[in-house]
Chains A and B, each alone.
Chain A
Amino acid sequence: MAIKDYLRERFFPHMWCPGCGHGTVLNCMLRAIENLALEKNDIVMVSGIGCSARISGYVDFHTLHTIHGRALAFATGVKMSRPDLNLIVPMGDGDALAIGGNHFIHAARRNIDITAIIMNNRIYGMTGGQFSPLTGYGKLATTAPYTNIDHAFDTVSLAIAAGASFVARTTTYHARQMTDIIQKAIQHKGFSVVEVLTQCPTYFGRKNKEGSAAEMMENYKNITTPIGSKKSQENPELIERGIFVEKEMPEYCSEYKKIIQKAVKGK
């Protein structure tokens, strides 16, 4: 199936700003799904609120556009009732880690078979450029005109500590790697977290003088490095990208099924 067949073309051109990285995430995600030859009816995409969450409107799967930060809670419900379906939950950094922070860590802890894609643009774009939990110290935002004094989460460390069994990071510049990682994340049985550094040229880029969308992507090339590379040892400031964790662990729905079997035994 061509990626066009996965789109709801009637809603195009989409509402994201020119150069917004979210479109590239949509593009690479659809290619990952195409490579896996998944049927449209076997995928459920659940999203919350924000620019990133609008992604669910553009794909011709089963889609749920839910409330802010709670996409994982809705997805958990769908997965528990229909474990045979593939659940994909794209979220923004604020949606996943501020408003939905608790849902995120507990979904990871349970190891429920859901693919969470965190589209990290370091800002609340839709509402006008307020700082998010990933904006970072010293950065500018509409609500931090004298620089932000909040420190950022390290999404990967957080996901690992919370118990996710697949954790990866990539960027919109590394589109081939993104496609490959999302493909592996969907195939992984358990809670998968993929953090994608994605540019918001309109708010984060403009406030922090990071230039055009292409220049922001160019910057991802310069500030990231493959996990454990020589460059990373020489310069610990660089952000590592790649797959950090990929391990087999009991999956929540499978474990729940066993509990039901135990409970009905002999009845």
Chain B
Amino acid sequence: MGKPKLKKLHIRQEWCKGCGICIHFCPKKVLELDDKDKAFAARPQDCICCKLCELRCPDLAIDVEAEDE
């Protein structure tokens, strides 16, 4: 079993309220806020699929899909 690889990091923009929790706690600094204050994956290639953003997101807006899923 190798390192989990990201297939898709999907953020529902219409559900995101831009609280910044995902950005603050991402261990690899993958996420950023865009000009509308919505989170987006700025560096998806760095994602290690720990899924902490998905689990902590209070708006249930994040869906992390790893390649083996």
The chain A residues found within 8 Å of chain B, CB to CB, are 3, 7, 12-14, 16-24, 26-28, 30-31, 172-173, 175-176, 179, 201, 212-215, 217-218
In the complex the two chains form, what is the Cα distance from A111 to B17 in whole Å? 40
Chain B interfacial residues counted at CB < 8 A:
18
Contacting pair B14 A27 (CB below 8 A): no
Q: Which among A19, A22, A28 has the highest number of chain B CB atoms within 10 Å?
A: A19
Contacts of A175 in B (CB 8 A): 52, 55-56
Residue pairs across A and B with Cβ atoms less than 8 A apart, 22 shown, are A12-B15, A18-B18, A19-B21, A19-B58, A23-B57, A24-B55, A24-B56, A24-B57, A26-B58, A27-B57, A27-B58, A27-B60, A173-B56, A176-B55, A179-B55, A213-B19, A213-B58, A214-B19, A215-B24, A217-B21, A217-B56, A218-B24
Contacting pair A213 B59 (CB below 8 A): no
Contact of B58 among A24, A173, A212 (CB under 8 A): A24
Contacting pair A214 B20 (CB below 8 A): yes
The chain B residues found within 8 Å of chain A, CB to CB, are 14-15, 17-21, 23-25, 52, 55-61
Q: How far is the CB of A125 from chain B (nearest CB, A)?
A: 13
Contacting pair A22 B24 (CB below 8 A): no
